[in-house]
Amino acid sequence: MATPVEHLREVCLQRGVNGIRMIGRMFKTYDDNGSRKLDKEELKNGLKDYGVDMSKDEQDQLFLCFDKDDSGSISFDEFLLALRPPMSSSRLDLIDKAFAKMDVSGDGTITVQDLKKNYDVSHHPKFQMGDWPKDKVLQEFLNNFQANTDEVVTKEEFLNYYAGVSASIDQDVYFDYMMRQAWKL
């Protein structure tokens, strides 16, 4: 029988590569005071709205699993670290290399300005048809990785996106190939 964390992780992964990003967005929605923390009631409401079917006992167990510091609340970081599927060191290394390549400014984030130096929009269908200008294509590309729309992708958001991708790829060799092809590593 799966633990409550494994059950929630499975629900996220059933929603595809964006599942973890979507639940991260849910977390931020239910964080009413902007503290980047949820109490037990906020978590329960979020799980219900996200469509996670858990008993009250399972929800309580889940909360205890996430609340590593026994503060009575779950930080965004505690939540994502516990939820993210485990990845091998070789996969984490490739994700780090891809992020470093895209973070041209070296400030620990990826912005549209960083992408302009690494991402060729000329092959994007919306750009080719004249529907979107270059900056719109770049912003939409960034939005794939974000839990919000603040126009900046953090390393954590990038890692969470690839945690979802990684969970759907069994073999390290295939993940390696996919990352090297996608990011020209």
In tens digits, what is the pLDDT along the chain, a chain of 185 residues?
Answer: 688 988 988 888 788 767 777 777 788 788 877 777 888 988 898 888 888 889 999 999 999 988 888 888 988 777 877 887 788 999 999 999 999 999 999 999 999 899 888 888 888 889 889 999 998 988 888 888 876 667 889 998 888 888 878 877 889 999 999 999 988 89
What are the structure tokens assigned to 120, written together? 């060729």
Predicted structure pTM score: 0.67
Amino acid letter, 137: V
What are the structure tokens assigned to 28, written together? 């931020």
Cβ-proximal residues to 141 (8 Å cutoff; 6+ apart), any chain: 115, 119
Q: Using alpha carbons, select from 164, 5, 144, 150 the residue that is nearest to residue 74.
A: 5
Q: Using alpha carbons, select from 112, 113, 137 the residue that is nearest to residue 124.
A: 137
